[in-house]
């Protein structure tokens, strides 16, 4: 599989999975925003909403919709990181780090709420999101 790497050196979801999500109107709308500050904030809001919808889908037994929403969440997080790199303001990184930390806590809760057989994709996403969080935290501590 081929991985993309964003500005902070974060390996993101495989390109094949992202192809469907990146074509989504939400991601297109994020990319259309010219202000990096607004873009990172909207990306984090979209990620939060996508995680909420993913959890509902998983609990309702709709695994494919849940995976699509998880992919949307990670695409939004990727867009957030790109916007942060563009803005290059340390205060933005701290706020983003806190929001990603909250996403991690919520994702952990979602993992415990679903059946053991359905946890694989969520657990892999958690590992990826932890990597993003760690890199954001390193950037916060650097400034």
Helical segments of the chain, H only? 15-22, 25-32, 36-59, 63-87, 90-113, 119-142
Tokens describing residue 16: 């094949």
pLDDT digit string, tens, across residues 2-55: 344 454 554 444 443 444 555 689 999 889 988 999 999 999 999 999 999 999
User: Where is 13: in which H helix or E strand?
Assistant: strand 11-14
Looking at 22-36, 59-73, 102-116, 125-139, which range is the least confident one? Answer: 22-36
Residue 21: its pLDDT value, please?
54
For residue 137, the SS3 value is helix
The neighbour count for residue 122, using CB atoms within 10 Å, is: 21
Residue 19: its pLDDT value, please?
44
Rounded-to-integer distance, Cα 119 and Cα 117, Å = 6
Residue 16: its pLDDT value, please?
38
Task: Report the predicted TM-score, pTM, of the whole model to 2 decimal places.
Answer: 0.81
Residue 18: its pLDDT value, please?
45
Rounded-to-integer distance, Cα 83 and Cα 80, Å = 5
End-to-end Cα distance, the chain: 34
């Amino acid at each position: 599989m081929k991985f993309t790497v964003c500005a902070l050196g974060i390996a993101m979801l495989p390109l094949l999975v992202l192809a469907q999500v990146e074509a989504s109107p939400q991601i297109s709308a994020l990319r259309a925003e010219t202000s990096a500050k607004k873009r990172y904030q909207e990306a984090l809001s979209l990620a939060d909403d996508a995680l909420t919808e993913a959890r509902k889908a998983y609990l309702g037994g709709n695994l494919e919709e849940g995976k699509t929403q998880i992919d949307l969440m990670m695409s939004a997080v990727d867009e957030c990181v790109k916007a942060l790199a563009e803005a290059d303001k340390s205060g933005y990184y701290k706020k983003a780090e806190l929001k990603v930390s909250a996403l991690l806590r919520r994702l952990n809760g979602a993992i415990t709420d679903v059946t053991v057989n359905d946890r694989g994709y969520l657990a892999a996403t958690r590992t990826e999101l932890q990597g993003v969080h760690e890199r954001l935290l390193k950037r916060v501590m650097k400034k």
